[in-house]
Chain A
């Protein structure tokens, strides 16, 4: 064929050769012929060829760079950074080692929610080959490969809150459980490295990893986690001859609070350690970013799976999950999964309206969000105070209304809001339930009328928000109320408070009798933190979550605390300062009914300063909820305590926020 064509071409060539002024058409003809020929030649040689060539080039270049990178000494990146930013400060471990600090007290880490790794021990067929591989943490490779399978394995049984039949997902144990959440995203790793500088190693450090999906008491029932923590602490005290320093982070603080009650409680429900166990074994509890009184985010998480960046699965890849990239209802799947996790309920705001404010009042009243910007520029406390007093003049935000429907409602005075009682609305089993098939959330069981009724009630405070959740997620809350409690105790000596469901609520338990122990609340401040939400009804849509945060609700000016439907206050981006600091600032300070033995409490706040440049990574002065684990000041405090210092030697309280003022406003019997 090509031969033929070519002959034809050459013939026409000859034609054109003989007749010099041949017609342009013929020229054209021969030209196209040539072009075609060239093309065939190119397509045989060119396209695949050049592709391969390109790939080859890139590959070899990559390898060369990789080789060079590997051949270079490991300290090069540091040199580069230092050349650009000036000499880095010594990491606290090195600095304190030079000061002469050495390993003294054994250290126990208690990781929080989400950051601990989970691995598969038994699964369904779809999870073949994943035995003892990380399902949670690490690269999350399986989320992308087999998303439905992954969701199935991470969900728990909707009735019991324990393993579904045929699936066993267990926490990773050891320091690796939570040193890095994902490659390069440290959680405890920096702290561990710094402790190691002082001489800490495996025998003096213990990561109390637990399955953060199930309720605290269930970790003991299913995995005997608390027995293991108890035995490990006892062993470390015995072999090292020193009391332990416990460092819980985030939800780990509640878990450890639960543990302290559990360990001293008598055997069937508790650990039977006797009434002086804590006194004998614990030197100090250093709570980092403690959600003692809960986080408003948890409400939004349960209500509409929309908490912005922690405590739910969307934390690690919000963009992917929001975009419905897989073509199915990711958000609903997530919601279904997270609603089977009991532990999210441990973080529902506790203490009701006394702590979190009523319709018209809240302890943070008068907080001016604009002050935050100045704070970054100059950290002088005096000026902040000025800023705050100015802020008082501004229109105050009704933080007490944790959920309100519509911005107008959020700002109106309470007397002007008409509310209807949603509880009378009837649950209607509508037919949408069947069309949604496996993507099932409890919203599908609610009728349109019920959904409207919820929206018509308009405003919810910390107290009524519980009723709301009970209404929209009855199953979850039934499970939750068996394991957690959110109230304030009137009489702590009431025998009912011996039940384990009260143990993780600091407002319904007494601290153990351990006068020598110290409790620290360490948390970041200076970042706007979610405190209250403006919701709207989402357009009626089958199989959809009927409520949504109203992204369009913004404040009038930049200084406003409202942005994207969320009211923010001071905090560490996840936990408002009130929740993290109140117990240490007031609830437990001195001898109170919550702290009968007068355990000393200290507040250590760390003002947030964003990383100066990209090279710093997540910064050494961050105050954000997880990034604070790399904060040098915090690490130094921890190291000093671990090496034997007391709170007095550390400098007692270190406060940047208004936590004392806010605490004072809370009218709580002590």
Chain B
């Protein structure tokens, strides 16, 4: 600071001093800035230097105006350089820091134990996680040929959102490709190893399997277009035929070793569909003959299976509001909610996801028998405090008795009526006698509102065809169970439900020998199919527990009268109940954040256990639950003990189980059932003829 002051002195004080001292020269302040000074030969150098000094200061001060840009550049440059330096240093570092101990991956450990690749492995990805790429598009998608539209960085979503939506939607009549657009599933392991950069799906499992000797020839990703219905993947892409050929090939080339299939999420019902398809006679099925399954498959390890559907699918269809999976909003909810593009994002995503048939496969199956009626549900009295409780005693949660104790404590409270999957306003708590029953069929879908829809521009959803009255009527203090839900959906979205009902069925079979059940629409519903005759094949249900999972919803009419808004919204203001089962209009149960325990575990716990009519040959079933434990530090990423629906694919215990089975172990050898939740009790309460 001192030196600066001094400089000032030099500049401004001294010249005056000089001029006052040297009267001979007429010193004019204007001249100081002029260049003529230099020409005066007699002037002492000192003077000159001072002037120059001053001039410099002046030019510097003049340049203040453009210093702003300058400064910006400087800052950016500074940041860039440091960034590069850091990057360089990061790259120079050895890959593994000596001090940082990476926990040993299960693959390494099991390799030391002597496990090697034995059975070929087939991975069946679920909904949403598989990548889709463009093969033919409209002019707006120029230059995207064979680029990922779904998965990866989603950059196109931000660059050309409307174009992107157009290419990802399907024809609303047929549920197949729209004219001039071909979007296809990416084949190979890359299809679903990472969903987005850094967000693994199968990658961890693949890497661990590779440690014990798996590679391209004995590991296959059965990717399929998860937007279209299961049978359509065969009609359009021959995906089922290809899977069949692949399994047969791997069976032969790997020394006649049976295949271990690892489906995830919706992949589990896709594979169920495949099982039935492959043994059915040719026109509708694959013609593999009745022994195909027993001959080629060793075990089916369903990870987070959605056997009985997920309530989320309903809310997604109803109002595009499922919280975190199975629809477009999954990857960027904040962005899509905030209407950043200035158009009705939610509406768009509703329209797009309604063209996807597969979401129809996730609608809860089995009706009131499974999911409960207005007053009863299998989960009744469930302990909603699981998260806190479990965290305190993560080790003791292994046995059922403690759980049961905890549950009994909560019995005192008014139980949550989970059976009411969708209820409006107070209907969620009212006794069932006061609820009005609604005859959906009586309501008329008015066509007079067509003109309304025209004012709404191109964004059209089937809600625009409904009159205000019927919208109100649907909502008026009503509650819907898993059975009446289907009526509701076919009322509000008739076109979609027509398509869905042609492809999927959501009922419960009375007589499985009825010839109608040979139709493909029943194949993906475990309650309407018999498992194939293969007593040696093992079926596993592997899923996470300990995370609140959406089970039923409290809705309200949305207040806005705008023509193209979705008339129903989840009532996020609905008061949270004491025990934590309600939260923002959503009633929660135990699960893996997407799939409730009941849906994932029921078939293994009861429906297929032993020799039942759904499992006539008595295949052994095993339940392996994984208690959720959030990552302890940020460094762990998504954690190695997570139970989240997708994050469970990085769960060390799960990976170990899969690897042991792939290397030849049986269900008994890996420890049989491993249960933390109340699934057995819940299943017991489901009254189903076996």
Contacts and interface: CB of A to CB of B under 8 A. Distances in A.
B46 A131 contact: no
Contact of B142 (A74, A131, A196): A74
Interface string A118-139: 0001100000110110000000
B248 interface: yes
Interface in A3-24: 3, 6, 10, 13, 16-17, 20-22, 24
Contact of B245 (A168, A196, A197, A235): A235
A170 interface: yes
Contacts of A664: none
Interface stretch (B77-85, B582-590, B607-615): B77-85
B77 A121 contact: no
A170 B214 CA distance: 11
A227 B253 contact: yes
A3 B2 contact: yes
A366 B210 CA distance: 57
B45 A60 contact: no
Interface string A454-475: 0000000000000000000000
A51 B215 contact: no
A410 to B, nearest CB: 47
Contact of B237 (A131, A197, A202): A202
A375 to B, nearest CB: 35
B136 interface: yes
Contacts of B216: 121, 170-171, 173, 223
Interface string B570-611: 000000000000000000000000000000000000000000
A227 B187 contact: no
A132 B206 contact: yes
Interface string A36-75: 0000000000000101111111111000000000100111
B14 interface: yes
B3 A13 contact: no
B217 interface: yes
Nearest to B45: A27
A434 to B, nearest CB: 31
Nearest to B76: A56
B95 A13 contact: no
Contacts of B330: none
A429 interface: no
A179 B146 CA distance: 11
- Between A31, A51, A203, the greatest number of chain B beta carbons within 10 A of the residue's beta carbon is seen for A203
How many residues of B sit at the interface, in one of the four size bands? 35 or more
Interface residues of A, number: 63
Given A31-B45, A59-B76, A74-B143, A228 B217 contact: yes
A518 interface: no
A6 B3 contact: yes
A90 to B, nearest CB: 15
A224 B217 contact: yes
B253 A228 contact: yes
B137 to A, nearest CB: 11
B241 A57 contact: no
Nearest to B49: A34
Contacts of A265: none
A171 B193 CA distance: 17
B18 A17 contact: yes
A31 B46 CA distance: 8
B49 A52 contact: no
B241 A196 contact: no
Contacts of A235: 241-242, 245
A370 B365 CA distance: 79
Contacts of A58: 77
A420 interface: no
A231 B17 contact: no
Nearest to B141: A74
Contacts of A234: 245
B21 A17 contact: yes
Given A49-B74, A174-B188, A59 B22 contact: no
Contacts of B73: 52-53, 56-57, 60
Contact of A131 (B72, B207, B253): B207
Nearest to B83: A59
B684 interface: no
Main secondary structure of the interface of B (DSSP, over half): helix
Interface in A220-268: 223-224, 227-228, 231-232, 234-235, 238-239
Interface in B1-36: 2-3, 6, 10, 14, 17-18, 21-22
A659 B99 CA distance: 67
A173 B188 CA distance: 7
Contact of B77 (A59, A70, A132, A238): A59
Contacts of A55: 76-78, 80-81
A70 B215 contact: no
Contacts of B245: 231-232, 234-235
Nearest to B82: A52
Contacts of A655: none
B249 A70 contact: no
Nearest to B135: A201
A489 interface: no
B75 interface: yes
Contact of A56 (B14, B18, B80, B95): B80
A168 B45 CA distance: 78
Contacts of A2: 3
B78 A52 contact: yes
B44 A16 contact: yes
Contacts of B21: 17
B215 A239 contact: no
Nearest to B139: A75
B80 A59 contact: yes
Contacts of A10: 6, 10
A176 interface: yes
B123 to A, nearest CB: 14
Nearest to A238: B241
A37 B264 CA distance: 72
Contacts of A24: 45
Nearest to A21: B44
A192 interface: yes
A145 B91 CA distance: 9
Contact of A53 (B46, B74, B206): B74
A74 B17 CA distance: 68
Nearest to B56: A38
A501 to B, nearest CB: 22
A537 interface: no
B219 to A, nearest CB: 10
A224 to B, nearest CB: 4
Contacts of A6: 3, 6
Contacts of A223: 216-217
A658 interface: no
Contact of A30 (B46, B78, B217, B253): B46
A30 B211 CA distance: 75
Contacts of A131: 207, 210
Nearest to B144: A74
Nearest to A204: B238
A559 B659 CA distance: 67
B159 A56 contact: no
A6 B7 CA distance: 9
A193 interface: yes
- Between B21, B73, B241, B246, the greatest number of chain A beta carbons within 10 A of the residue's beta carbon is seen for B73
B70 interface: yes
A17 B53 contact: no
Contacts of A170: 215-216
Nearest to B189: A132
B182 interface: yes
Closest 4 CB pairs of A and B: A56-B77, A56-B73, A55-B77, A52-B77
19 contacts: A20-B44, A21-B44, A53-B70, A55-B76, A55-B81, A56-B73, A59-B76, A74-B142, A122-B210, A128-B96, A170-B215, A173-B188, A196-B136, A196-B146, A197-B136, A199-B136, A202-B187, A223-B217, A228-B253
Given A55-B80, A234-B245, A235-B241, 5 more contacts: A54-B77, A56-B74, A122-B210, A173-B216, A239-B242
